[in-house]
């Protein structure tokens, strides 16, 4: 049975020539003085273990406040080899708009089943007086 083995947010996700991935600037919070805010580019990395066959995956990010969608990405694993049943996915996002501060959650699905989620806190920075 497939498992989600990691899910993280980072400033940069680099894939080297040998396939090794590096996540630079891992974070769980975004802060801004004003909203809506359009972020600088950033990425999401997640991986699965025990993938046995061609399967569809989906990544959604929603506001926990009202369940509004911030982003959605779908894909499919097509060439799963018996000797390597671990799949890594990295998605670089050019800009993401957060309309308001709050708690957001990234959710990863495989064949429609929720395998895991990770919170992203979006905070308003209050100016110092």
116-129 pLDDT, tens digit each: 999 999 999 998 88
**Res. 8: pLDDT tops 90:** yes
Task: Reply yes or no on whether the pLDDT at 79 is more than 70.
Answer: no
DSSP string, 52-82: -S-EEEEEEEEETTT--EEEEEEEEE---BT
Look at 5 and 82; give whichever has higher pLDDT: 5
Average pLDDT (66-84) is: 81
What is the DSSP secondary structure assignment for residue 10, as one 8-state letter? E
- Has residue 83 got a pLDDT over 70? no
pTM greater than 0.75 = yes
How confident is the model at residue 84, as a pLDDT? 62
Where exactly are the structural domains of the chain? Answer: 3-124
Q: How far is CA 28 from CA 23, 31, 58, 110, 112, in A?
A: 13, 10, 20, 23, 25
- Cβ atoms of residues 19 and 13 within 8 Å: no
Between CA 85 and CA 116, with CA 109 as vertex, the angle to 5 degrees is: 85
CA dist., res. 60 & res. 109, Å (int): 8
Side-chain-side CA neighbours of 38 within 13 Å: the count stands at: 2
Q: Which range has the worst mean pLDDT, 6-15, 57-66, 79-88?
A: 79-88
Percent of the chain predicted with pLDDT > 70: 94
The fold adopted by the segment(s) 3-124 is Immunoglobulin-like (2.60.40)
């Amino acid at each position: 049975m497939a498992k989600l083995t990691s899910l993280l947010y980072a400033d940069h996700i680099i894939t080297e020539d040998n396939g090794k991935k590096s996540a630079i600037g891992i974070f769980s919070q975004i802060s801004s003085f004003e909203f809506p805010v359009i972020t600088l580019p950033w990425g999401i990395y997640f991986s699965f273990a025990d993938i046995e066959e061609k399967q569809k995956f989906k990544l959604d990010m929603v506001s926990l406040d009202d369940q509004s969608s911030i982003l959605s990405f779908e894909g499919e694993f097509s060439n799963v080899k018996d000797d390597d049943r671990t799949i890594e996915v990295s998605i670089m996002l050019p800009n993401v708009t957060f309309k308001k501060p709050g708690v957001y959650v990234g959710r990863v699905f495989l064949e429609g089943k929720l395998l895991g989620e990770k919170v992203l806190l979006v905070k308003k920075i209050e100016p110092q007086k």
